[in-house]
Amino acid sequence: MTSHPSGPFAGLDPAQLEAMLHQMLLIRAFEETAEELYFQGMIHGTMHLSIGQEGSAVGSIAALRRDDYILSTHRGHGHCIAKGAQVGGMMAEFMGKETGYCRGRGGSMHMADVATGNLGANGIVAGGVPMAAGVGLSIQMQRQEKVILVFFGDGAANEGAFHESLNLASIWNLPVIYLCENNQYAMSMSVARSMNVDDVSARAASYNIPGVTVDGNDTIAVYAATLAAAERARSGGGPTLIEAKTYRYKGHSKSDKQRYRTKEEVQEWQEKDPIGRLSRQMIDAGLLTDADLTALEQRVADEIQEAIAYAQASPDPDPASIMEGVYA
């Protein structure tokens, strides 16, 4: 390892912190707008909102370089924004438009932006986890200094593919960061009911790789853990399993009646909100004023309005193009 970031902000400078806070606000606004548009009937299908999980998305990706890769999950809008996608293209994809990141073919669950190293969200739990080993091998064989960070949830840690991938990345010493966003529930099945370990990170021991658990709502802690893992991977130290404990405020998807948890539990987590926490930390340190925060919120609101306008003005895919993209 080349550096051990210290201090309350782990070596991040004020401009970086403001950029991170901006991304977190943008993610939340995007998600809230997505839900609103769904209720207005402007978006069909379903969606998995990441409200409450902005800390793990932004904290981890802030520790990556632009040419590093990510693979994401069904709850992936935040990862996409954090890696550098434009919300206009995302909104267009969400509305199924030709100008969307996937030309309207993928939608919410397959949002990708290959230009920023985002190889895509995934509709299959643990779907990206085996692929991450392949991306890691590709980086290693091409002697690149990149890393691949693969997001997955607590549910994915119970899929066989998760174990195959960690084992392979360990024996081949691949530059993979396994980032488990443990949001406490795999749809309705709680972590307490689905595994007999307290921490998903304990499973790293089976593969003799480092496993760390961080508070996923502490954006800076997620950043520091990811930075250490990335430096380790880049310098040939192999994979790391990071578990970011967090919480989704909304249901699993649009069909969720939330019978499996209490309002009090949701309330408790909302009091540990990652956006509230980072902005408070910055205000306390004199890096942000209330007026700055209001200005950021206004900027985000404008960006979302522009994104909606862009998406609405965009054309639908040409029906004559339906067969495109099946084969190269």
Partner 1 sequence: MSRELTYAEAVREAMDIAMERDPRVFLFGEDVGVYGGAFGVSDGLFQKYGPERVRDTPISEAVIAGVATGAAMTGMRPIAEIQFMDFITLSMEQLVLQAAKLRFMLGGKVEVPFVLRTPAGAGTGAAAQHSESLENWFVHVPGIKVVMPSSPADAKGLLLGAIEDPNPVIFVEHKLLYRTKGPVPEGYTPLPLSKSEVKREGTDLTIVATSLMVMRALEAAEILAEEGISVEVVDPRTLKPLDEGPIVQSVVKTGRVLIVHEAVRTGGYGGELAAVIAESEAFDYLDAPIKRLAGLDIPVPYNRDLERQMVPQVDNIVTTARKLVREGR
- Judged by CB under 8 A, which stretch of 17-25, 54-62, 134-142, 291-299 contacts partner 1? 134-142
Nearer to partner 1, 148 or 244 (CB): 148
Whole-angstrom distance, CA of residue 276 vs CA of residue 265 = 18
CB of 182 to partner 1, least distance (A): 22
Q: Give the pair of three-digit tokens for residue 67.
A: 């040419």
258 binds partner 1 (CB under 8 A): no
Environment class of residue 306 by beta-carbon count within 10 Å: exposed (0-12), middle (13-18) or buried (19+)? middle
131 binds partner 1 (CB under 8 A): yes
84 binds partner 1 (CB under 8 A): no
Query: The dihedral of CA 165, 169, 174, 179: what is its sign?
Result: positive
320 binds partner 1 (CB under 8 A): no
216 binds partner 1 (CB under 8 A): no
Q: Give the pair of three-digit tokens for residue 285.
A: 């340190």
13 binds partner 1 (CB under 8 A): no
91 binds partner 1 (CB under 8 A): no
122 binds partner 1 (CB under 8 A): yes
Whole-angstrom distance, CA of residue 286 vs CA of residue 295 = 16
Cα-Cα end-to-end distance for the chain: 41
Nearer to partner 1, 20 or 71 (CB): 71
Site for partner 1 in 50-69 (CB under 8 A): 69
- Judged by CB under 8 A, which stretch of 13-21, 113-121, 203-211, 240-248 contacts partner 1? 113-121
- Judged by CB under 8 A, which stretch of 25-33, 95-103, 206-214, 230-238 contacts partner 1? 95-103
Write the interaction track for partner 1 spanning residues 154-193; mark x where CB under 8 A is met and - where it is not.
Answer: ------xx--xx-xx--x----------------------
- Residue 210: other Cβ atoms inside 10 A: 18
18 binds partner 1 (CB under 8 A): no
- Judged by CB under 8 A, which stretch of 22-30, 39-47, 141-149, 294-302 contacts partner 1? 141-149
Considering only residues 11, 84, 123, 237, which one is a binding residue for partner 1 as defined by CB under 8 A? 123
Token pair 């409200």: residue:
51
120 binds partner 1 (CB under 8 A): yes
Whole-angstrom distance, CA of residue 239 vs CA of residue 211 = 9
What residues make contact with partner 1 under the rule CB under 8 A? 69, 71, 100-106, 110, 112, 114, 119-120, 122-124, 127, 129-139, 141-142, 148, 160-161, 164-165, 167-168, 171, 324-328
